[in-house]
Homo-oligomer: A and B are copies of this chain.
Amino acid sequence: MAGCCGALRAFLFEYDTPRIVLIRSRKVGLMNRAVQLLILAYVIGWVFLWEKGYQEKDSVVSSVTTKAKGVAQTNTSQLGFRIWDVADYVIPAQEENSLFIMTNMIITVNQTQGTCPEIPDKTTVCESDANCTAGSSGTHSNGVQTGRCVPFNGSVKTCEVASWCPVEDDSRVPRPAFLKAAENFTLLVKNNIWYPKFNFSKRNILPNISTAYLKSCVYDAHTDPFCPIFRLGQVVESAGHSFQDMAVEGGIMGIQVKWDCNLDRAASLCLPRYSFRRLDTRDADHNVSPGYNFRFAKYYRDLAGQEQRTLIKAYGIRFDVIVFGKAGKFDVIPTMINVGSGLALLGVATVLCDIIVLYCMKKRFYYREKKYKFVEDYEQGLAGDTEQ
């Protein structure tokens, strides 16, 4: 009891601190301080000020809506004079984070269920029915072969297929793009972000933006960096591509909205940064299935109530709005982790200097003898003897 109580008192009322050898040496002293300074500079300057190691981080949660505006007119032999508006060229009418704008198309009108000759290619051209196998259907074929070989035109015969007839001939993509006027369409991007960990939310339509400004402005990296309305042509050019080239075969444009926020500072300084990147790389050497396109159909009934459709292979540009970014805010944990490891690093200074002092300097033996106190161990001694 008394012993225990004494131990407790000892534990509480004793203070132990390491004994230090204090070497008065210019060389070593300066070196030691220098090393410590470096480490301090690193910990404070880099980890804390530059990398903001004292901040808790959170990733963005975002919601996006888009709205396109613009009208184009075309005049072709097939369709005659025609006006295209949003309801015509945006497919589907709405998406969550992206918007597809049709810039080019191959249109096949009045298709009906039936049988007709395939488009000629090395697999479909035939001499006689022997070349066609009924019921077969390749990956790229438009229908199921009936097994008959029929004239596609005066010169060439191809296998007949059961399909929507006449079959689509997408061998030639219109150039220039059918809706090249899309270059001047505008795209309004509304983005609402949220940092759950800090319960901080903001819109890309900043509070100081007036309605009047929004009605007229167009995004420009230099003059209007916070206007959320983009000219399609400009977006593509900012990414270093030609809109008219891209419009022909279509593609994917990334509209990147970067929200890097330091929430230790005013919320008004947390601003979106827009950048543009083409997401479907077009390297000439191997442009495998280049651009972006898909097929859709409008279904009709003819007078007989028979189902008809207009098949459209839509080439166009899909604008993906990619929102990303991190917010940082002071927090105790990361701070302490960095302080802790910083202190541990300071220890390195002593270790380094010790090595130099005790192994490299000519007066090392003198220093060693000062730093160390040797305690012989009997066993050890005997052990040593036995080893001789």
Contact = CB atoms under 8 A, between A and B. Distances in A.
A85 B142 CA distance: 7
Contact of A137 (B71, B209, B318): B71
A124 to B, nearest CB: 13
Contacts of A97: 96
A21 B16 contact: yes
Contact of A296 (B11, B93, B337): B93
Interface in A252-311: 252, 254, 258, 277, 279-281, 283, 286-289, 292, 294-303, 308-309, 311
> Which of the four size classes fits the interface of chain A?
35 or more
A370 B205 CA distance: 68
Contact of A163 (B83, B90, B308, B341): B83
A23 interface: yes
Given A63-B254, A252-B65, A339-B345, A83 B164 contact: yes
A33 to B, nearest CB: 6
B340 A289 contact: no
A20 interface: yes
Nearest to A34: B12
Contacts of A140: 69
A3 interface: no
A16 B26 contact: no
A144 B73 contact: yes
A186 to B, nearest CB: 6
B336 A337 contact: no
Nearest to A291: B65
A32 interface: yes
A222 interface: no
B292 A65 contact: yes
One complex includes copies of this chain to the number of 3
A94 B300 CA distance: 21
Contacts of A44: none
Contacts of A21: 16-19, 372-373, 375
Contacts of A277: 194, 201
Interface in A11-48: 11-33, 42, 46-47
A34 to B, nearest CB: 10
B92 A94 contact: yes
A53 to B, nearest CB: 7
Contacts of A300: 299-301
A270 to B, nearest CB: 15
A325 to B, nearest CB: 9
Interface stretch (A125-133, A172-180, A236-244, A349-357): A349-357
A152 to B, nearest CB: 18
A209 B288 CA distance: 9
24 contacts: A14-B24, A15-B28, A15-B29, A16-B21, A18-B18, A18-B20, A19-B19, A24-B375, A26-B383, A53-B333, A63-B252, A81-B162, A85-B164, A85-B295, A91-B94, A94-B318, A203-B281, A207-B286, A209-B286, A298-B299, A336-B341, A340-B343, A343-B344, A343-B347
Given A47-B333, A73-B144, A343-B347, 19 more contacts: A12-B29, A12-B30, A13-B25, A15-B31, A16-B21, A18-B20, A21-B375, A22-B375, A23-B377, A24-B380, A61-B322, A70-B139, A71-B144, A87-B295, A87-B311, A92-B94, A94-B100, A300-B300, A340-B341
